[in-house]
Amino acid sequence: NEVRGNVPFQVNSPLVSKNPTVLNTSSTKLVKQFNNKVAVSANNFSNNDNIPTNDSITVTTRFSNYFAYDDGSAEGGYSIYLKTNASVALAYDLEKPDTIYGVEVFFNQSQQDVSTRNFDLMVWSGITSVNQQADNDRVQYRKNGVKPIYNNSINGFATILFDSAIVVGNRFFIGWEQLGQFILNIGLDENYYEGNKLKTNPNMFYKTDGTWKATEIPGALMLRPLLGQVRDFPASINKTLVSRADFNFNLYPNPTSSAFTIESNYSKNLTVYLFDLFGKEIMNEKMQNNVQQFHLPSLSKGIYIIQVIDANTGSKLSKKLIIE
């Protein structure tokens, strides 16, 4: 049988998006998944297309609330072997300052169960240069007395939340410090390649005997910072986020410098509050309409919290506002 109508190799034909995707920044979902399909149409060619099943390509794109160097599976483990006062730091780079409210860690049990041993979860705004006495580390946050949580499965990460969200700059480091001599084994993704060659992560460091060194072990440490949507707030801000399922609002422009607009699907008895990240109330104003603009006082550049409260039900919804 004759088969006709296949698309010629390396054909030049314009691609037209019939249904462009619009990112809804008001969504409270932390993970978004988009299935993007590219297909060719037989109308562009002189012959009929008799094999339509091979005329499309579908690619799935996921947007999550974390950064990662790993692919979610641990082929090995990474630990500091029999050293006291040891630390591990993993650097991440941002295009602009943001908030971090916790980390995800893959604890990979190895020679022994250390689930009862304590370590300190760390965030540094900077660490001392390698091969120098580490007397210039800039600790930004420390969570004391953390214990490993084993969940040995693909993407079996343990989530550790901070006491409150903190602001991180364009480059920051997450990791841990341990005082005792025990093997705190963190998952290591060994599918970390540059071309066809397994490589070491240039953003991964360890400290023993008071000196930071670049890691010599190839692979990606399975330690992920949770960024973006604020999930935990200063103590003075009530942590009830949403108790009314149909209560939502849009916040724009964001970033801003002088004013912002709240667009809500529910406008009766709503009050808009502005807090800094230490929980200090800066302003509050009642909403008069479903769409209302609010002018900002003179504030330093940085990240703030907008909280909208429904006086009828006590429902609260909070979002991050960046002031540039």
Return the half-sphere exposure (C-beta side, CA atoms, 13 A cut-off) of residue 20: 4
Rounded to an integer, what distance in angstroms lies between the CA atom of residue 20 and that of residue 131? Answer: 51
pLDDT computed for residue 229 by the predictor: 55
- Higher pLDDT among residues 47 and 253, named by residue: 253
Tell me what the mean pLDDT of segment 134-150 comes to. Answer: 91
Higher pLDDT, 241 or 149: 149
Averaged pLDDT for residues 230-235: 46
In 261-272, which positions are buried (b, 16+ CB within 10 angstroms) versus exposed (e)? Answer: ebebebbeebeb
Return the pLDDT at 65: 81
Which among 82, 78, 88, 36 has a CA at the least distance from the CA of 57?
A: 36
Q: How confident is the model at residue 228 (pLDDT cuts 50, 70, 90)?
A: low
Contact indicator for 105, 160 with CB cutoff of 8 Å: yes
User: What is the pLDDT confidence band of residue 293, given thresholds at 50, 70 and 90?
Assistant: very high
Highest mean pLDDT of the ranges 30-34, 48-52, 139-143:
139-143
pLDDT confidence bin for 12, thresholds 50/70/90? low
Distant-in-sequence, close-in-space partners of 276: CB < 8 Å, separation ≥ 6: 282, 302, 304, 305
The better pLDDT of the pair 100, 247 is held by 100
Identify the pLDDT of residue 40: 65
Lowest mean per-residue pLDDT among 64-68, 87-91, 211-215:
64-68
Higher pLDDT, 233 or 33: 33
pLDDT at 231 exceeding the cut of 50? no
pLDDT at 239: 41
Q: Mean pLDDT, to the nearest integer, of 200-225?
A: 95
The whole model's pTM is what?
0.61
Q: What is the pLDDT averaged over residues 152-180?
A: 84
Please give the share of the chain, as a percent, with pLDDT higher than 70: 76
Q: Whose structure tokens read 């562009």?
A: 44
Q: Judging by DSSP bridges, how do beta strands 316-323 and 302-310 pair with one another?
A: antiparallel
The answer to whether the CB of 107 falls within 8 A of the CB of 185 is yes
Above 80 in pLDDT, residue 179? yes
Where residue 246 falls among pLDDT bands split at 50, 70, 90? low
**What is the model's pLDDT at position 20?**
60
pLDDT value of residue 64: 77
Mean pLDDT of 76-89: 89
Residues in the chain: 324
